[in-house]
Amino acid sequence: MGQPYHIRSFCSIQQETILLNGKPVFKSEQEDFDAFAKEAYKFIDIKYPKFFKMDHLSKLAFLTANLVLDKENITPDEPSNTALVFANSASSLDTDRKHQESIQNKDNYFPSPAIFVYTLPNICLGEISIKYKLYTENSFFIFDSFQPQKLIAYTKGLLDSKKAENVLCGWVEFDGKTYKSFLYLVSAKGTLEHTEETILKLYNA
Amino acid sequence: MEELKQELKAKIIDQLNLEDINVEDINDNDPLFGDGLGLDSIDALELIVMLDKDYGIKLTDPKEGRAIFESIDVMAKYISEYRSK
């Protein structure tokens, strides 16, 4: 069986709304994601100018992670052994399309380095790691759909082997105008059981 | 030359997504990298693409950018001399 683990805090962002531990903390009228993200950034009071250079997937992951980690007092000032295990189904397709557009026309061939560097989904893990000074394990999986049992197994492996004290894990999806994030922090402490049933209930809330 | 400097400031703010910085906040001799605007290596590559796309200047060696992108003043003088667009 091994040691039981628990969910400490969780956050979801979709349809211009942010829920933290199940409670709405921010809602915007901005349907454009960049405008929504800018409002959310100011509301959370992040103060990290590089945020505005990130692609959509990284902005979404960064905002969600920020809320969970801050809620649990995991800050850049205090080194924390927090691993990151994320997944989605669209990979970095949203940014891949932008890059493709910039190289479509041979007579107007000007690929943007700033876009190209985000043509991998795991870059968002790097952005979070840089901000929070996490020199820890991280993985980004591509699944057809949200599959908590796979995240549970991987997370448990990291915690059982003492490779991490906490694991921030979940789903970060951005494709066209549709987006959804759901991240939760798992450790030995916490109030919610780290089970497939609990995770699915929180994901669908 | 003054018009080109203003144009460069506006383009840098827009293309490099510099939040909460206006054209008036950038002085002609401010360093663009390091302690100045705080631009990074990816920004330097974006500026190289901008020189090519907007002014027809191709830098074959990215290291050349280090001197050209020292400040708005230096950039404007270089573009005025070598532009083909």
In this predicted model, what pLDDT tens digit does every residue of A112-171 receive, in sequence order? 999 999 999 999 999 999 999 999 999 999 999 999 999 999 999 999 999 999 999 999
CATH (domain of A159): 3.40.47.10
Nearest chain B residue to A116 by CA: give it.
B42
What is the tally of structural domains in chain A?
Answer: 1
What pLDDT does residue A3 have? 85
Beta bridge partners of residue A86, listed in sequence order: A140, A170
Q: Best mutation site among A46, A48, A52 for testing chain B: the one with the most B CBs within 10 Å?
A: A52
Question: Which of helix, strand or coil describes residue A156?
Answer: helix
Contacts of A112 in chain B (CB under 8 A): 46, 49
* % chain B with pLDDT above 90: 75
Is the model's pLDDT at A64 over the cut of 90?
yes
Strand stretches in chain A, DSSP E? 6-14, 17-20, 23-27, 82-88, 138-142, 166-175, 178-187, 192-193
Nearest chain B residue to A107 by CA: give it.
B53
Each residue's pLDDT tens digit, A39-50: 999 999 999 999
CA distance A136 to A138: 6
Is the model's pLDDT at A55 over the cut of 90?
yes
Strand stretches in B1-85, DSSP E? none
What pLDDT does residue A78 have? 84
Report the pLDDT averaged over residues B21-46: 91
Contacts of B49 in chain A (CB under 8 A): 110-113
Within a domain: residue A117?
yes
The tokens of A78 are what? 């205090």
Nearest chain B residue to A48 by CA: give it.
B19
8 Å CB contact of A52 and B46:
no
Each residue's pLDDT tens digit, A141-153: 999 999 999 999 9
CA distance A46 to A48: 6
Q: How far is CA A60 from CA A63, A74, A114, in A?
A: 5, 19, 17
Q: Domain span at residue A14? A: 6-204
What pLDDT does residue A196 have? 97
The whole-angstrom distance between A53's CA and the closest CA on chain B is 6
Q: Which residues of A80-89 are buried (b: 16+ CB within 10 A; e: fewer)?
A: bbbbbbbbbe
Within a domain: residue A1?
no
The pLDDT-based confidence of B60 (bands split at 50, 70, 90) is confident
The model's pTM: 0.94
Domain B2-82 has CATH 4.10.80.400: no
Within a domain: residue A12?
yes
CA distance B52 to B56: 4
Say which range, A10-14, A69-73, B37-41, has the weakest mean pLDDT: B37-41
Report the pLDDT averaged over residues A55-80: 95
CB neighbours of A26 closer than 8 A, spacing ≥ 6? A17, A18, A39, A40, A43, A44
The tokens of A123 are what? 């870059």
Size of interface A-B (CB pairs under 8 A): 29
8 Å CB contact of B53 and A110:
yes
Sole residue written with tokens 């950039």: B75
